[in-house]
Structure 1
């Protein structure tokens, strides 16, 4: 139950073939028949009927013909997906017989069994992470709500924890159901239960139960500070929850439900621009390659932080690569792609669509859209003034809404800079407060170094660390930047601690070891931006910053941080710039007599064509300061160039 779908499948195959029994190997935690009951749709449905719980109308099929029959019983549109598959592999929505045949064939190429489900697009999608021990103690550790309604894979959805739009009755109805289902199935350890909830009634159905740790488990673990895998491992060995100590507080038992006094927003990271001809539409099959987690005291604050974390070129909740017409904008909202959140931003910023109109197309809850509208209202207020006339009240409102200094500078009238906004803000004593994630909403004293920063507060939960070395993490996984950089960051922290230095990690990727709070002396789940690094650097009186172990994002901060007076450890900032800046690098190569291909930095198509005519095709086109060939292409003709 720890290695995802692959481990689950291998374990089931070994058990079914009798190999485990023959070798006398015991399966710990959730037993194979229980796992089988959650993975096989017909068995799952029968199990839930025993306790009068409902799943979405669903049929299993092993051939295209059986699939067609099931679709006709349910009625189009239907969702087709492969059983025993991860990330919605080979799934999609069929509107008619032709689409149904294609999807069935595709799904059957990935699995021997396919599932045909009732179409519940537009319903709310919710998840509960549940922990149960062999003594039948059962708790729900975290509940999460998808910003996007059902129809988009949860791995491709913006997700918030705790849920934001549920009433008390809805929350407890789903929580009680989760506990009832997990107890009835007999799961031992950790599992994830997903629901579809009708947006205007108490009608719900269970989508699925994952009797294993999943991607959502990693997110829930980081969102709450509750170490799910650590606790689940002990429960698999037969320990009761009451004997496991909460690793965060080191005082209370693990048999408690975490209480959150903050909001977590997870946003997926896609990298589809690196592949030519790939559809950017998002739906039931997961396409994202990584994710980020922003923490704040409000939806507005955590969402804006998370948007900047996904991509350093994103300033926050504002239009990006504008849609040229209202029709194109509406099409984006109706058929979502990885740009949907920016389409909503454009619609609200330009006042071309109301919240009701956006809801009618997207089915995103009115409450979420109203929060986004509040972000835009603050932008509208800032647009009316310049930095000299900006009141402290408006500055504080903007910071509470999650606006960065850079965003504020770009929004105000006149030509303000990020540094000028920062100076005015600090002059008015508008600085972020450091808060702890302690799993207990500060009800008990907590011995934790798991921190985030917010402008909603009146005091710091912890004082200055007074020295130590800051290590900047690698951010979200993307094509060409993955766990190898996290290994570098963690190795760096461990070496620092062995040498007796206090270590601080800044990172925002919930899928990494570097964001485990016990790896370093202080963990800031925060943005890797100049503004936030400076906030932490000055607050903690750090001795220096390591930028060379986290890949391109920290590397790109070397010069801005150096200019702001930060002590860069290791390779000096100007030497990093000499390697990254094409002109400086070229001069260095000439100085030491090393050959290099002919190149030129150009800013127009005409000059590029002239250069290509001069040196001959093929030519390589690329930007500076990028990793793994982002936006890099080879051109063989004038047209391609």
Structure 2
């Protein structure tokens, strides 16, 4: 039997709608398909995609814009037997529907994996999906598709305000608006019709204030189904689920409520003939127990990544096996799991909390009010024995300056202002809720104002009670033990006691108040299985043992924030892969549940911990590594760990260090090279493209190679090489020149090559630059080996990189596209004609 070929549709540039979770899913699913004998093809244009560069997962990487024309051309080039659209989010579903309408899928007899074509059409059209759910007797909110204001008003008169207006087939990011009166309706209808490619909008009944529940289920091709997770969002309907604090397992539901929603999710998944993952969202009216289905996503997303990470269930691996044709009963996961782990529903003896991360430090003028449109860029996970512990751990990685700033502003609010912010929530509302508790609001009052279940205010009140007790008793050992068991960080305790953090650490050491690690696995200890995923708590039994030597511990870069996008994860993932291939036992510490660095193929052990020095120190005490790699942006970790990490080599993972003021009115050219401490290995010259906003040149858009005369190219190579040779440490470097209008050049600065450029050049040159850097640092490359490693694997083509910003999603019009606001990136290869 000939090897089957599968075309994977990528997700494109990172955006407000998705981050690293889709690339992480693509890497794991593709790796499994390849192991099962499939030939894998991936089309994507994300320069920060790790999967595109990884031969372990992808046989043919097609770096092309995600358009119908390019997908059709790729099909004609590779003739795949199947296409997998569930790794590219909603955009991939819309793209595949358009590709199908060309007739090529039928003509070439191409199968769709995961979802039938009819299901894709229903997911893309809420009206069609609504009819299917109606035929199943599934309760749904009222919805109508209209193309004018009069019909929209008629719908509102039937269901009443508030209502939600959405664009059908939106031109850009999905557009929607929560409407409370007739004036808002007029504006929403006009905007929605402009945003729609079909000139239509949907008018939907709003269920604002109801509890939001998210259920993840799995189904195989023979109809066997299982529930992976039942997640409860703390914030009610009316706030986008991605902007809410999510808790797993659900804390406040009755068993019959869980079972009824579970049965409904199963019925929908069965009817839509989904194979693999399905994420169903519900609105629950706890006053009467009635629920509504509000959304169905039969593809990977941020919630499925959180569910898999929090339960320890190998979701992406299992889905890869299902796509390859196996059943849940047939799947035998790799060593560590018991025989029927894939078909056994996960249970938990711990609590996980997902905390959103906001972009407003870089975008202070953006509207922070939360609504139905997503505004967060990333997420952090906190895992503990209790909800309180998980909550403390989830917020401990917030920058201390940001926390202090928020608390200071809240103290200045009047009671009326505070009430308005409770009713109309803003980003970071957790701190607002804690402020309200400090002012004496009761749980019932806050539940009435926020529609948040009173149970969660009991948890927040416990957090506040611990902090208040600490304030009155500096140095109390019993309170320190209690605070640590509840998840408080040393830094937070030190701030309350007005002590140096080192003094709290010394007190813990003196009284032997140390972390123990628990293995996070999906049977809650019922079966003898080992996921090698750990979280810390303060109990007696420690389940983590040292890894065999040699061991390398890598500190992740945490949640997706504006700046580098996921180019940080790209570098770290390549670092893990290189260390693994050179015989190291790889250990990752990260609190971003969406990160590709948490893939089991890359890291032998994974610690879900805040990226704080005390947590990292505890991992080092267990693992005794030879090497520790830390992102340069976490310079405080390097300073704090240096004195205690004896006999451990500490190395920095490079970070984007280009100053934000590097925006000039004349062209910029950058000489890029690798320096081994003695010799310079040129990697070419990039040119910054001109911004269309203010006609300045900046590194948010680049071309490779720069268009220079042979004389100018030789000049920059010579001057750039001289500047790099004066650097003290080996590494990837970049020398930036101003290309003056009179034809001369002025050297502007020498810097470590920023991570976005590393990712871009790696794909253009077909070189694993992060891996080469790691090998050089490990002493595994001499001069001859470096020369061989830096030979491009194939023809080097002209290419363009453009950064992607969140301005449109956040309704920002006049914001400047600077490097500290980058969210994602796109790239494409060009012909000579494209430069004319």
Q: Same fold (TM over 0.5)?
A: yes
Does the 8 A contact of 1:320 with 1:342 survive in 2? no
- Contact 1:266/1:294 (<8 A) preserved: yes
Within the candidate set 418, 430, 433, 2:501 is matched to 418
Equivalents in 1 of 2:632, 2:248: separation in Å? Answer: 29
2:188 to 90, 103, 125: 103
Tell me, yes or no, if the aligned pair for 1:308 and 1:315 is still in contact at 8 Å: no
Deviations 1:469-515 (A, max 9, x none): 21111111111132211121122222222222222111111121111
Distance 2:644 2:499 in 1: 17
Question: What is aligned with 1:41?
Answer: 126
Residue 459 of structure 1 corresponds to 541
1:275 and 2:363 aligned: yes
Q: 2:599 aligns with which of 512, 516, 537?
A: 516
* Equivalent-residue separation in structure 1 for 2:595 and 2:335 (angstroms): 18
User: Hey, what's the Cα distance between the residues in 1 that align with 2:383 and 2:335?
Assistant: 18
Alignment partner of 2:304 out of 196, 213, 217: 217
Summarize deviations over 1:224-268 as a string: whole Å, max 9, x none. Answer: 222323322332333211111235743233112111111111111
In structure 2, list runs of 5 or more residues that go unmatched.
Answer: 1-85, 660-725, 729-745, 750-817, 822-836
- Report the Cα distance in structure 1 between the residues aligned to 2:172 and 2:456, rounded to whole angstroms: 25
Q: Aligned pair in 2 of structure 1 residues 532, 276: CA closer, same or farther (>3 Å)?
A: closer
Shift in Å, 1:66: 2.8
CA distance in 2, matches of 1:371, 1:273: 28
* Contact persistence 1:218–1:510 (CA under 8 A): yes
Give the aligned partner of residue 474 of structure 1. Answer: 557
Q: Report if aligned partners of 1:78, 1:94 keep a CA contact under 8 Å in 2.
A: yes
Whether contact under 8 Å (1:194, 1:208) holds in the other structure is yes
Between the aligned partners of 2:610 and 2:228, the Cα distance in structure 1 is 26
Partner of 1:562: 642
Equivalences, count = 579
Deviation at 1:198, TM superposition (A): 0.6
Paired position in structure 1 for 2:430: 341
Equivalence for 1:89: 174
1:576-587 equivalences in 2 (<5 Å): none
Q: CA contact under 8 A between 2:562 and 2:820: conserved in structure 1?
A: no
Confirm or deny: 8 A CA contact 2:564 2:820 kept in the other structure.
Answer: no
2:377 to 265, 289, 293: 289
The counterpart of 1:264, out of the listed 335, 349, 352, is 352
**1:145-164 paired onto structure 2 within 5 Å:** 145-164=232-251
Q: Per-residue CA shift, 1:401-437, capped at 9, x if unaligned?
A: 211111112223xx42212212222222221111111
Structure 2 CA distance for aligned equivalents of residues 367 and 317 of structure 1: 28
Q: Trace 1:103-182 onto structure 2 (pairs within 5 A).
A: 103-111=188-196, 112=198, 113-182=200-269
Relative distance call for 1:566 and 1:314 in structure 2 (3 A) is farther
User: Superposition pairs for residues 458-607 of structure 1, below 5 Å?
Assistant: 458-465=540-547, 468-547=551-630, 550-552=631-633, 554-565=634-645, 569=649
Q: Distance in 1 between matches of 2:141 and 2:584?
A: 55
The answer as to whether partners of 2:625 and 2:648 remain within 8 angstroms in 1 is no
Quick one: distance in 1 between partners of 2:205 and 2:180?
Answer: 12
Matched, 1:363 2:451: yes
Question: Does the C-alpha gap of structure 1 residues 568 and 80 become closer, same or farther in structure 2, counting only changes over 3 Å?
Answer: farther
Give the aligned partner of residue 14 of structure 1. Answer: 99
User: In 2, Cα distance between the equivalents of 1:20 and 1:218?
Assistant: 30
Separation of aligned partners in 2, 1:100 and 1:209: 26
Structure 1 position 201, deviation (Å): 2.2
Q: Partners in 1 of 2:467 and 2:564 — Cα distance?
A: 34
Partner of 2:36: none
- CA change 1:295–1:526 in 2 (3 A) is same
Deviation at 1:52, TM superposition (A): 1.6
Task: Please state how far the C-alpha of 1:345 moved relative to its aligned partner.
Answer: 1.4
Once residues 261 and 76 of structure 1 are traced to their aligned partners in structure 2, the CA distance between those partners, rounded to angstroms, is 42
Q: Give the secondary-structure state (helix, strand or coil) at the position aligned to 2:309.
A: helix
Q: What TM-score, normalized by structure 1, do the two folds share?
A: 0.84
Shift of 1:51: 2.3
- Check 1:397–1:276 CA distance in 2 against 1; reply closer, same or farther (3 A cut): closer
**1: distance between equivalents of 2:113 and 2:483?**
51
Instruction: State the match for 2:112 in structure 1.
Output: 27
Which residue in the other structure is 2:770 paired with?
A: none
Greater relative contact order structure (CA < 8 Å, 6+ sep): 2
> After the TM superposition, which of the residue ranges 562-571 and 74-83 deviates more from structure 2?
562-571
CA distance in 2, matches of 1:231, 1:448: 14
| Distance of 1:43 and 1:35 partners within structure 2 | 10
CA distance in 1, matches of 2:500, 2:529: 40
Q: Deviations over 1:32-62 (max 9, x none)?
A: 1122223322222221222221101222223
Query: Once the two structures are superposed, what CA deviation does each residue of 1:192-213 show, in whole Å capped at 9, x if it has no partner?
Result: 1000001222111110211222
**1:604 paired residue number:** none
Corresponding position: 1:252 with 2:335: no
Residues 1:385 and 2:473 are matched in the alignment: yes
Aligned partners of 1:216 and 1:273: how far apart in 2?
24
Residue 447 (structure 1) shift: 2.8
SS of aligned partner of 1:536: helix
* CA displacement 1:84-139 (0-9 Å, x = unmatched): 56998321211112211211222233333422221211110001111111211011
**1:158 positional shift:** 0.8
Contact 1:225 1:248 (8 Å CA) reproduced: no
- Tell me which residue corresponds to 1:609: none
In the alignment, the residues of structure 2 paired with residue 287 and residue 181 of structure 1 have an alpha-carbon distance, to the nearest angstrom, of: 29
* Greater shift in the superposed pair: 321-330 or 334-343: 321-330
Residues 361-395 of structure 1 deviation map (CA, whole Å, 9 limit, x = unaligned):
111100011101011111111111121xx03x322
| Rounded Cα–Cα distance in structure 2 between residues aligned with 1:564 and 1:523 | 22
Question: Which segments of 5 or more consecutive residues in structure 1 lack a partner in the other structure?
Answer: 581-588, 598-626, 631-641
3-state DSSP of counterpart to 1:322? helix
Per the alignment, residue 62 of structure 2 pairs with none
Cα 1:341/1:403, change in 2 over 3 Å: same
**Normalising by the residue count of structure 2, what TM-score does the alignment of the two structures yield?**
0.65
What is the aligned partner in structure 2 of residue 633 from structure 1?
none
More strand by share: 2
Residue 628 of structure 1, CA deviation: 5.1
Task: Give the match for residue 442 of structure 2.
Answer: 354
The answer to whether the 8 A contact 2:626-2:648 is kept is: no
Q: Distance in 2 between matches of 1:224 and 1:83?
A: 35
